[in-house]
Structure 1
Amino acid sequence: MIVSKDRERGEDYWLARPATIGLLKKLFIAALVLLVLADFTVEHHSYFGIDGTFGFGAWVGFVTCMALIAVAKMFGTLLKRPDSYYDN
């Protein structure tokens, strides 16, 4: 297995290397920019006023993702148990 060979040699797994992480970030950002720019090539037929704006899917998806993260953090603080909860 590749992971065990890397660990035996004392090397980081290829996805954990800082250079790989930086490259993946750049690739993902480039892909997202290309997808938003591809919005110029699509003719929009809006059903309500705001859905015909440029990059609607991108910014609505981003706002929705941020809202889901905020709700998850809120539930996490409400449902959190102390570290000693299972200690007897």
Structure 2
Amino acid sequence: MSQRPAADQPHWLVRPSTIRLLWGVFLLVLAATVAADVWLDGHHALFGLDGTFGFFAWYGFATCVAMVVVAKGLGIVLKRKETYYD
């Protein structure tokens, strides 16, 4: 039984099996966080929409998508030619 030298083995964070495991754990934690909204009675709606189930999860996701879209738009508007500094 021969083992590969340590230099040939990829780092544990870049192995496909570890990446799948981390994604699974990440999704499980996200689902548990949203599901906990059923049992929590501590937050009270300040306006109508923030009292809906999973509001903070979908609002955070929508905000993240909006930031990416705005950043892409800014990249197009602020882009300069490659020869700008020549």
TM range, normalised to the smaller chain?
0.7 to 0.9
Q: How many residues align?
A: 81
**Unaligned ranges ≥5, structure 1:** none
Query: How many Å separate the matches in 1 of 2:79 and 2:12?
Result: 34
Q: Structure 1 or 2: larger helix share?
A: 1
**Unaligned ranges ≥5, structure 2:** none
Q: TM-score, normalising length from structure 1?
A: 0.79
Which of 16, 26, 29 matches 1:28?
26
The residue type paired with residue 66 of structure 1 is: V
Instruction: Please report how far the alpha carbon of residue 71 of structure 1 lies from its aligned counterpart in structure 2 after TM superposition.
Output: 0.8
Bigger RCO (CA 8 Å, 6+ sep)? 2
SS in 1 for 2:62: helix
Q: 1:85 to 1:18 in 2, by over 3 A?
A: farther
Instruction: Please report how far the alpha carbon of residue 11 of structure 1 lies from its aligned counterpart in structure 2 after TM superposition.
Output: 2.0
Query: How many Å separate the matches in 1 of 2:73 and 2:24?
Result: 31
Query: For residues 1-88 of structure 1, what are the structure 2 equivalents within 5 Å?
Result: 6=6, 9-43=7-41, 44-86=43-85, 88=86
